[in-house]
């Protein structure tokens, strides 16, 4: 294929600074180390970042520590990955955020970049430097970039009262900082299989009380969405994606910092084709259509901005922020093709604008207590549109005309959310810590729903190397407003897009009781192992599905759900060698669908109303792991893998069977080249799915599953990166 002019221009632009720096002396070693993407540095997991103590950096570091103190994790499970560990992944900092998170325990991969943590569908909360970033409309693209990450912490289990609304897990990102990195930047490019081209550039620095960090990248390739077939090269699957992130901070005084965070993502996708399909409908005088020639497309846009004031008033630490996020999605069908294959062609649009206010406070109360409290509010306006074409049908449901009719359906929703919490971290002695609290949430859409949620978490430092935790949390999870599409199903009566009028109830907030307990053990100075078990009893369990030809998700509820599992983790770090291993065993079931019923086959709906079934994203056994070895100061080799026993598919009953198990092995080698007058150039070669094993993530069957998707075939990628 021919690369777009934009991609080639970016590649040339990124090459120019490399040429310029060929005449500049080597950057200071301290700056390179601060950047942290040097593979000679050992990556770490489940370790807290260190704070430098230099001039203005000491002020920034103290404020970072104060900000961290606002967000406890007492009683919950956590898994930490730092930027050096990300750099050691096969694709390094070019690794999408969702694939970084797949290296944590209990995280299951799905098609379209989806993630399931501990048997939940999506329901992830993203925080950047302690600030909640409202989720974007679900699609294929990632809105955030791994190059922004200093550390990312995945919190799940029985969360303290501070965390609510999105409760499957909290993805807590601490960004890189110009105060820590010094003045400099980085340019690079990744290219390889499937015509991949991914240039990137970052710049960071500080001056007096100002600091900044900016990064941006552009990516295009010919495998933007999972292939619906097992072929090596998908048909009609090009993507163009552009992302940017910025963080500007100003130290007002030694106790106060003002920060502005912003991010943008603009992603374009072709929808891949499945050849060999036979049309089911005629269109005017046309009776044949090659499914390999379909031209369906989707575009996704996300942008957010947050202004945060963080500091101390006496002994009380605080962070107050206001922000706004806009997210939009537009699906453009191949009108003739989709009418002939599906009997309906829908141009679908969705948008959501969320304005937020967040305030968190922490006040020490003597030597044994820390009182934390805060509020959160959001105001959302969501819109959905459906410009559909369908064929008329006769009384028996057969196509009555080859001339389609146009039907317009649209809705606008306004949602308000208010939350408040208070919690006390109580040191019961040298080895015991209790965190107990209460959270209140209220969500208003078509109706108002609210809940008071008690939380309690206990941590016991049994020995110097053994930590035991246990917790209970009551959760209240409103439906994702951007996933609610209020349809007037009566408009489609008498057409090929008619549905059985089995109910059209608006999705409800989920309510659940969560129990979690685990133990972490250090074995010598190199090994850390852990076991964690959880159980969740759910009322109005939320799930999401793809219904219709447009590749967008919609929310629905089961009346009840049960989710349980156990996780095992092991990490090793000693000298030049580091390794990790995660395994999880889980089960997620639901019964009786009570909202958005019209989306389901009446027979499936009748069965689920009287029987427990597996959720479509249930996967019994999941595992991930990796190893990285420094051969010398400039060369590293590594490998990682993903294993899954298979997501659900239809069997004798809905979601009654599993897809075959899969194993994906990825390999990489990295080397730092040193050139006179140019300095260091980091090169990394990655082989994704090195064994070229063909595996299927979805086969198109199951509750809320719309199409088959396969995992990636073998791909080879080369990354070059230059810091300056």
CB contact burial 685-709 (16+ within 10 A = b; e otherwise): bbbbbbeeebbbbbbebbbbbbbbb
What pLDDT does residue 503 have?
Answer: 75
What pLDDT does residue 534 have?
Answer: 95
pLDDT at 357 over 80: yes
What confidence category does residue 34 fall into, taking pLDDT thresholds of 50, 70 and 90?
A: very low
Number of neighbouring beta carbons within 10 Å of residue 237:
20
Closest CA to 486 of 415, 411, 580: 411
Average pLDDT over residues 372-389: 93
Taking the C-alpha atoms of residue 680 and residue 435, their distance in angstroms, rounded to an integer, is: 48
Average pLDDT over residues 212-232: 93
Q: Which two tokens stand for residue 36?
A: 């942290």
What pLDDT does residue 500 have?
Answer: 76
345, 334 contact by CB (below 8 A) = yes
**What is the secondary structure of 573-584 as a DSSP string?**
EETTEEEEEEEE
Domain of 63?
5-723
Give me the long-range contacts of 133-136 (CB less than 8 A, separation at least 24): 133/263, 133/304, 133/306, 133/323, 133/325, 134/304, 134/325, 134/354, 134/356, 134/378, 134/380, 135/166, 135/480, 135/482, 136/265, 136/300, 136/302, 136/325, 136/327, 136/352, 136/482
CA 173 from centre of chain: 12
Closest CA to 157 of 435, 350, 401, 368: 435
Taking the C-alpha atoms of residue 453 and residue 628, their distance in angstroms, rounded to an integer, is: 43
What pLDDT does residue 138 have?
Answer: 58
What pLDDT does residue 4 have?
Answer: 46
Backbone angles phi, psi at 318, to 5 degrees: -150, 160
The whole-chain average pLDDT of the chain stands at: 87
CB contact burial 265-275 (16+ within 10 A = b; e otherwise): bbbbbbbbbbe
What confidence category does residue 46 fall into, taking pLDDT thresholds of 50, 70 and 90?
A: low
Average pLDDT over residues 17-36: 37
Closest CA to 330 of 278, 273, 269: 269
Average pLDDT over residues 634-654: 95
Predicted structure pTM score: 0.87
Q: Which residues contact 724 (CB under 8 A, 6 or more apart)?
A: 17, 21, 24, 27, 184, 185, 186, 187, 679
393, 495 contact by CB (below 8 A) = yes
Give the E-state strand segments of 314-368 in sequence order.
316-332, 344-365
| Residue 658 CA: distances (Å) to CA of 600, 624, 697 | 20, 19, 10
CATH number at residue 120: 2.40.170.20
Closest CA to 3 of 240, 349, 355: 240
**Which alpha helices (H) appear in 139-277, and where do they start and end?**
178-181
In this structure, of 14-23, 213-222, 230-239, 469-478, the range with the lowest mean pLDDT score is 14-23
What confidence category does residue 492 fall into, taking pLDDT thresholds of 50, 70 and 90?
A: confident
What pLDDT does residue 26 have?
Answer: 37
1, 656 contact by CB (below 8 A) = no
- pLDDT by residue (tens digit) across 283-330? 998 889 999 999 999 999 999 999 999 999 999 999 999 999 999 999
Domain count, the chain: 1
Taking the C-alpha atoms of residue 318 and residue 441, their distance in angstroms, rounded to an integer, is: 21
Q: Is residue 364 left, alpha or beta, with left meaning phi > 0 and alpha meaning psi from -120 to 50?
A: beta
437, 377 contact by CB (below 8 A) = no
């Amino acid at each position: 294929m021919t690369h777009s002019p934009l991609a080639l221009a970016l590649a040339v632009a990124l090459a120019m600074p490399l040429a310029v720096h060929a005449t500049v002396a080597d950057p200071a070693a301290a700056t390179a180390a601060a950047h942290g993407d040097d593979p000679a540095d050992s990556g770490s997991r489940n370790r807290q970042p260190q704070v430098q103590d230099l001039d203005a950096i000491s002020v920034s570091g103290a404020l970072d520590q104060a900000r961290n103190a606002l967000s406890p994790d007492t009683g919950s499970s956590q898994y930490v990955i730092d930027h050096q560990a990300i750099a050691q992944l096969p694709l390094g900092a070019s690794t999408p955020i969702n694939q970084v998170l797949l290296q944590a325990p209990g995280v299951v991969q799905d098609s379209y970049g989806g993630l399931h943590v501990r048997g939940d569908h999506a329901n992830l909360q993203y925080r950047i430097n302690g600030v909640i970033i409202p989720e974007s409309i679900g699609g294929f693209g990632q809105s955030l970039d791994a190059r922004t990450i200093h550390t990312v912490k995945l919190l799940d289990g029985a969360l303290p009262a501070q965390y609510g609304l999105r409760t499957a897990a909290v993805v807590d990102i601490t960004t890189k900082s110009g105060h820590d990195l010094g003045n400099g930047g980085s340019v690079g490019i990744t290219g390889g299989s499937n015509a991949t081209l991914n240039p990137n550039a970052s710049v960071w620095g500080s001056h007096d009380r100002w600091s900044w960090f900016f990064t941006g990248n552009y990516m295009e390739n010919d495998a933007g969405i999972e292939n619906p077939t097992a072929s090596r090269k998908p048909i009609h699957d090009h993507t163009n994606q552009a992302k940017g992130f910025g963080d500007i901070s100003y130290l007002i005084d030694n106790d106060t910092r003002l920060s502005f965070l912003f991010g943008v993502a603009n992603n374009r996708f072709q929808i891949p084709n499945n050849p060999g399909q036979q049309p089911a409908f005629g269109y005017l005088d046309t009776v044949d259509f090659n499914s390999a020639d379909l031209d369906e497309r989707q575009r996704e846009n996300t942008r957010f901005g947050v202004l945060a004031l963080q500091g101390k008033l006496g002994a009380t630490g605080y962070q107050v922020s206001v922000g706004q996020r806009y997210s939009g999605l537009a699906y453009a069908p191949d009108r003739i093709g989709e009418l002939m294959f599906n009997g309906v062609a829908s141009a679908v649009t969705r948008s959501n604008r969320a304005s937020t206010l967040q305030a968190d406070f922490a006040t020490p109360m003597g030597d044994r207590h820390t009182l934390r409290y805060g509020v959160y509010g959001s105001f959302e306006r969501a819109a959905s549109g459906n410009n559909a074409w369908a064929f008329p049908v006769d009384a028996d449901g057969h196509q009555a005309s080859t001339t389609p009719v146009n039907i317009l359906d649209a809705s606008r929703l306004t949602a308000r959310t208010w939350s408040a919490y208070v919690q006390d971290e109580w040191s019961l002695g040298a080895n015991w810590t209790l965190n107990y609290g209460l959270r209140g949430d209220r969500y208003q859409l078509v109706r108002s729903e609210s809940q008071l949620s008690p939380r309690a978490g206990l941590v016991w430092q049994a020995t110097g190397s053994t930590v035991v935790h246990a917790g209970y949390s009551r959760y209240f999870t409103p439906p994702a407003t951007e996933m609610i599409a209020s349809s007037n199903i009566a408009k489609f009566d008498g057409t090929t897009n008619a549905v059985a009028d089995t109910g059209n109830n608006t999705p409800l907030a989920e309510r659940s009781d969560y129990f979690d307990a685990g133990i972490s053990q250090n074995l010598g100075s190199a090994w850390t192992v852990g076991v964690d078990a959880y159980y969740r009893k759910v009322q109005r369990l939320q799930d999401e599905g793809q219904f219709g030809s447009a590749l967008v998700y919609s929310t629905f509820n089961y009346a009840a759900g049960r989710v349980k599992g156990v996780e095992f983790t092991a990490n090793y770090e000693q000298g030049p060698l580091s390794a990790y291993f995660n395994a999880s065993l889980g089960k997620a079931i639901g019964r009786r669908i009570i909202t958005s019923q019209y989306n389901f086959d009446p027979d499936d709906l009748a069965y689920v109303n009287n029987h427990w079934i597996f959720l479509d994203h249930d996967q019994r056994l999941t595992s991930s792991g990796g190893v990285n070895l420094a051969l010398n100061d400039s060369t590293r080799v590594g490998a990682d893998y993903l294993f899954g026993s298979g997501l659900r598919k239809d069997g004798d009953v809905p979601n009654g069977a599993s897809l075959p198990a899969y194993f994906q092995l990825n390999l990489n080698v990295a080397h730092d080249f040193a050139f006179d007058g140019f300095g260091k150039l980091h090169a990394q070669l990655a082989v994704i799915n090195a064994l070229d094993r063909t595996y299927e993530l979805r086969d198109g069957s199951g509750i809320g599953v719309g199409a088959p998707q396969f995992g990636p075939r073998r791909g080879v990628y080369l990354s070059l990166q230059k810091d300056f």
